[in-house]
Structure formats: structure tokens, C-alpha cells
């Protein structure tokens, strides 16, 4: 790490850590059904939760006007204390988003004034600024879908919000790696191609992870290696919807089938990358990257199976999401080392 870039690198890696924390808190928010507890959006006044009992009562009364309370929680003896619990996680999720905005904008302005960013890095930082703003919009766009008639957010919007957070993290890491490893070398073309395929498949798998979460599709077919009734593709995949497009994007059984089948493809491509890299002369950084990918993909696969078998308990569901983050980190690092 060169001294002239050290402060910028620390800034970017701090952003990576904060995005990681935000995704973890977002996972808790989703798994505790807390995402619809804050029914409006105020940039300033929502910075802190209600500070008096009167304000809590007012927020609770507002929440009662929306579908999640009227169709679900009204039948569950839902109290103010219950509301405070779900409110906390959604508020904390939004609060971290504000922190990320400040952590990005204030140092960015400082580096801009001090001319610590070269032209290439400056352009990438403008992209990151746009991605951060867009992610905030996607969060609002997702929550809005659960405040109209259906007390669940759109699984398409949830997957968009989740996947874009992963992409923002990966791109931030990539920009940091460009500064950590300023030297340029010829890419390992054959391995780079495989690593790109692995990254694309992993991102598709993350999208389907969002679909599974949004549809609560992990609560059915809690068997492995087959789905229910010993079927590799359960008959309910076909029965749920009228077309294959809808079956594989909106049907609970279909979405779960794609997610569990894609897992084999991700494992296979990463193993293929590792096998090919063992036959080609790679340096220590590239070797460590592929080795970490293999380790993490097997951990992730095992966690996915266990999470499914136990019907997605909070701890396992969260751990499964965290490991996906680590696997994306290893894949991004490896692709960077094979590319530059």
C-alpha cells in the first residue's frame, strides 16, 4: 500500500465494512419482519427514534393504518413493545444508511479539495456516489410496495435492493484494490473468463436468494437433496403458475428450485476455476483467492442446506447471507488479481 493512497484506501475499505454491516442489519430486519414498521420517510426527523412515550404512541397509531398491522399483527396481540422491537431494526437500518452517506461525502469532499484523487479514481468515486443514492431510492421503492394492499414487499424489489447492495460493495472493493495494487500486469485470460462466469452466476444466485426471501420460499420443501416427496423438481413447480417465466420467478416452489439448482452450478464453476488455476502458473495472490473461493463456496453450500432443513431460523438465515458476502468478496478479489 503506497503512502500517498493510504488514506483513500482506508476510506474505501471503511465504506465496504459499513455496507457489509448495513446488509447484515438489513437481513435481521427482513428475518424479523421489521421492514414495514416505519411507514414514512423523513431524512431529518427520522434520524432518531421517538424519544417520548407520546411520540411512540403516535408512531404506533400510524403503523396501525397500514396492511401489515390490519391483516397480520392485529390478530397476534401486537403491543407497543412489539412495535418498538420491529421499529428499532428498520430505524437502525436507515440510520446506518445515513452514516454511510456521511462517511462517503465528507471525506470525498476533503480528498477532492486536497487533490488526493487521480482522474481515474475520481470518476469511479462519482459512480459510487450515484450507486449510493440509487440504493437509497431502491430501499424506499421496496418498502413502498408493502404499504399499499399487500403486507409484504415485492420480492422483485427486495432482490433489487439486496443485489444492488452487493454490487455497491463489490465495486467499492474493486476501486480500493486498484489503489492497493497499482502495478499492472498481463491478465490470465483463460482464468479471468472463468472467474467472470463465476461472478455472474454468483450474482444471479444472490438475486434468487432475494426472491426466496421475499416469497418466504425457504419455508417449503424443507428436504435435501430432493424436494418434497423425493422429487428433484417437485410437481408444484409446474402447478403454481401458468408459464415457465412465472413459475421460475414468482412461484415459491419454482424460485426455490432455481436457487437450490444454481448452487450446484456455482460450486461447479468455482471448482473448475480452482482446477484450471492449479495447472496454470499463478502467483500467491491468485492462488489464495481461488483457495478462499473454494472454502467459502462449500461453507455457503452447507449453510444453505442446513438453513433449508431447519426452515430458515434467524441465526442460520443471517449466517447464510453473511457467507454470501464473504464469497462475493473472495470472488471480486480473485477476479481483480486475474484481471490486473
pLDDT band at 66 (very low <50, low <70, confident <90, very high): very high
Average pLDDT, the chain: 93
Structural domain boundaries in the chain: 1-182, 186-340
Given this model, what pLDDT does residue 282 score?
87
Given this model, what pLDDT does residue 10 score?
96
* Whether pLDDT at 216 is above 80: yes
123-169 pLDDT per residue, tens = 999 999 999 999 999 999 999 998 888 888 999 999 999 999 999 99
pLDDT band at 85 (very low <50, low <70, confident <90, very high): very high
Given this model, what pLDDT does residue 185 score?
78
275-303 pLDDT per residue, tens = 999 998 889 999 999 999 999 999 999 99
310-335 pLDDT per residue, tens = 999 999 999 999 999 999 999 999 99
Average of per-residue pLDDT across 57-82: 92
14-27 pLDDT per residue, tens = 999 999 999 999 99
Given this model, what pLDDT does residue 1 score?
44
pLDDT band at 45 (very low <50, low <70, confident <90, very high): low
248-280 pLDDT per residue, tens = 999 999 999 999 999 999 999 999 999 999 998
Handedness of CA 233, 238, 239, 244 (dihedral sign): positive
pTM: 0.93
Given this model, what pLDDT does residue 187 score?
85
125-135 pLDDT per residue, tens = 999 999 999 99
Given this model, what pLDDT does residue 44 score?
67
Given this model, what pLDDT does residue 40 score?
79
Q: Which residues touch 291 (CB under 8 Å, ≥6 apart)?
A: 274
* Whether pLDDT at 32 is above 90: yes
Amino acid at each position: 500500500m503506497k503512502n500517498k493512497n493510504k488514506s483513500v484506501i482506508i476510506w474505501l475499505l471503511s465504506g465496504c465494512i459499513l455496507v457489509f454491516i448495513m446488509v447484515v442489519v438489513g437481513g435481521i430486519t427482513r428475518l424479523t419482519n421489521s421492514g414495514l414498521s416505519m411507514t414514512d420517510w423523513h431524512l431529518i426527523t427520522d434520524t432518531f427514534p421517538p424519544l417520548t412515550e407520546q411520540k411512540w404512541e403516535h408512531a404506533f397509531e400510524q403503523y396501525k393504518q397500514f396492511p401489515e398491522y390490519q391483516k397480520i399483527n392485529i390478530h397476534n396481540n401486537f403491543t407497543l413493545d412489539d412495535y418498538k422491537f420491529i421499529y428499532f431494526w428498520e430505524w437502525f437500518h436507515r440510520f446506518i444508511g445515513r452514516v454511510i452517506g456521511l462517511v462517503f461525502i465528507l471525506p470525498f469532499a476533503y480528498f477532492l479539495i486536497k487533490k488526493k484523487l487521480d482522474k481515474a479514481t475520481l470518476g469511479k468515486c462519482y459512480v459510487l456516489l450515484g450507486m449510493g443514492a440509487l440504493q437509497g431510492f431502491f430501499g424506499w421503492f421496496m418498502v413502498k410496495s408493502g404499504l399499499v394492499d399487500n403486507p409484504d414487499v415485492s420480492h422483485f424489489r427486495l432482490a433489487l435492493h439486496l443485489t444492488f447492495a452487493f454490487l455497491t460493495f463489490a465495486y467499492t472493493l474493486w476501486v480500493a484494490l486498484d489503489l492497493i495494487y497499482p502495478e499492472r500486469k498481463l491478465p490470465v485470460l483463460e482464468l479471468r473468463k472463468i472467474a467472470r462466469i463465476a461472478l455472474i452466476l454468483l450474482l444471479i444466485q444472490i438475486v434468487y436468494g432475494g426472491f426466496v426471501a421475499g416469497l418466504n420460499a425457504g419455508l417449503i420443501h424443507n428436504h435435501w437433496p430432493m424436494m418434497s416427496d423425493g422429487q428433484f423438481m417437485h410437481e408444484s413447480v409446474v402447478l403454481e403458475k401458468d408459464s415457465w417465466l412465472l413459475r421460475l420467478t414468482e412461484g415459491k416452489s419454482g424460485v426455490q428450485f432455481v436457487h437450490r439448482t444454481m448452487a450446484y452450478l456455482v460450486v461447479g464453476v468455482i471448482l473448475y476455476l480452482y482446477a484450471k488455476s492449479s495447472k496454470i502458473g499463478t502467483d500467491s495472490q491468485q492462488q489464495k483467492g481461488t483457495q478462499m473461493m473454494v472454502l467459502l463456496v462449500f461453507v455457503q453450500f452447507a449453510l444453505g442446506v442446513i438453513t433449508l432443513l431447519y426452515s430458515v431460523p434467524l441465526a442460520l438465515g443471517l449466517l447464510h447471507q453473511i457467507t454470501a458476502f464473504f464469497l462475493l468478496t473472495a470472488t471480486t478479489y480473485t477476479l481483480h488479481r486475474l484481471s490486473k
